[in-house]
Amino acid sequence: MEDMADNKKKIGDLSVFPLSFGGNVFGWTANEAESFKVLDAFVEAGGNFIDTADVYSAWVPGNQGGESETILGNWFASRGNRSDIVLATKVGAGVPEPRGLTSSAIKSGIEESLQRLRTDYIDLYYTHYDDPSVPVEEIITTLDELVREGKVREIAASNVSAERLEAQLTFSAQENLARYVALQPHYNLVSRDTFEGELADVAARHGLATLPYYALASGFLTGKYRPGTTVDSPRSTGAAKYLETERGQKVLAALDDVAANHGTQPATVALAWLLAQPTVVAPIASASRVDQLPALLASVDLKLTQPELDLLTSASA
């Protein structure tokens, strides 16, 4: 894989590769040995941005949550490369009950994450799901404390309403406290209304970097899910539902057309479309095997023409 190390973008004071590797697969579809191989290959190709959460991968029978962070912590310790990586993790989710975003919940959450990740700081710390029961003042004040203590470099939000996001940004500005520099929404070619509109407007108005999750719609936008095919994957149910929609069919057809133009894969095109959208800095995508990485990495250098972007945007409307 070619070296793409110079192709960096800014998120606050962080310099990141324009593709974030999704750590939800660690401890789920990739065991520790497989995770190490994929992580090594990602870094070798110039990648430096890794996304995880304290709750990954609690949905796997027998797991408690924290498995992904533990694997990453072991990898950092084995490779001695923590300072080379921009590490994002999250707080607020939980199984079976959400942790929430009270001050005590955030403070206990960061300590547990730091221990599992075997590090003394998080580069980008997200509120994973908003907790409307907690005032925005309490959330921001607590996150600001973590920044001042050196435990967190930058803060960000995910799964939050435009109204609450605006309120938190306003409070940060009024009180001169740490402010969100990024937003992680559900956003892809078959799920645009989960971001576009009011939430996108807030991100643009405040200069937030957008880092879409489900960037490949649980694998649907890789093109491997087709009518009449069966895919052996834990994500197949989530991905296959898009086949039943007219939009899903139109998007696949458009992806095939554009991919053929460039001699590349549908996944590459789907990620490149996201990268061309306003405020998007680095889509989040994951791979359980090294051979899945090239199609993801190629998106960083794929420049779609305006007619190609228009075709994809129209198909996904």
CA atoms within 13 A on the CB side of 7: 19
pLDDT of amino acid 69: 98
pLDDT digits (tens, 9 = 90+) for 62-89: 999 999 999 999 999 999 999 999 999 9
Is residue 236 assigned to a domain?
no
Backbone angles phi, psi at 30, to 5 degrees: -135, 120
Cα atoms in the 13 Å half-sphere on the side-chain side of 107: 9
The answer to the question of residue 234 being in a domain is no
Q: Where do we find the tokens 């590769």?
A: 17
Q: What is the mean pLDDT of residues 199-223?
A: 97
Percent over 90 (pLDDT), the chain: 91
pLDDT tens per residue across span 22-68: 999 999 999 999 999 999 999 999 999 999 999 999 999 999 999 99
Using CB atoms within 10 A of its CB, is residue 2 exposed (0-12), middle (13-18) or buried (19+)?
exposed
Instruction: Using pLDDT thresholds of 50, 70 and 90, give the confidence band for residue 124.
Output: very high
Average pLDDT, rounded, for the chain: 96
C-beta separation of 97 from 133 below 8 A = no
Domain limits for position 75: 9-184
Q: Is residue 203 part of a domain?
A: no
- Is 56 labeled as catalytic in the residue annotation? yes
At residue 138 the predicted structure's pLDDT band, cuts being 50, 70 and 90, is: very high
Tell me: pLDDT of 231 over 70: yes
Give residue 206's Cα distance to chain centre: 20
Beta bridge partners of residue 36, listed in sequence order: none
Sign of CA dihedral 293, 283, 91, 61: negative
User: What was the pLDDT predicted at 4?
Assistant: 45
Q: What is the pLDDT of residues 173-190, one digit of tens each?
A: 999 999 999 999 999 999
Judged by average pLDDT, the poorest of 57-66, 237-246, 261-270 is 237-246
Domain count, the chain: 1
Does residue 93 lie within any of the structural domains?
yes
Assign residue 129 the CATH number of its domain: 3.20.20.100
Strand partners, 125: 89, 155
> Left if phi > 0, otherwise alpha if psi is -120 to 50, otherwise beta: which for 91?
beta
DSSP letter string, 85-141: -EEEEEES--SSS----SHHHHHHHHHHHHHHHT-S-EEEEEESS--TTS-HHHHHH
Q: How confident is the model over 272-312, as pLDDT tens digits?
A: 999 999 999 999 999 999 999 999 999 999 999 999 999 99
The predicted structure's pLDDT at residue 3: 41
Mean pLDDT within 136-164:
98
189 within domain boundaries = no
**pLDDT at 2 (0 to 100):** 39
Higher pLDDT, 233 or 27: 27
What average pLDDT does the segment 247-261 reach? Answer: 97
Of the residues 56, 129, 180, 187, only one is catalytic, namely 56
Evaluate whether residue 82 is within a structural domain: yes
Residue 6 has pLDDT above 90, yes or no: no
Q: Is there a domain that residue 221 lies in?
A: no
Q: pLDDT tens-digit profile of 194-208?
A: 999 999 999 999 999
Does residue 313 fall inside a structural domain?
A: no
* Identity of the amino acid at 36: F
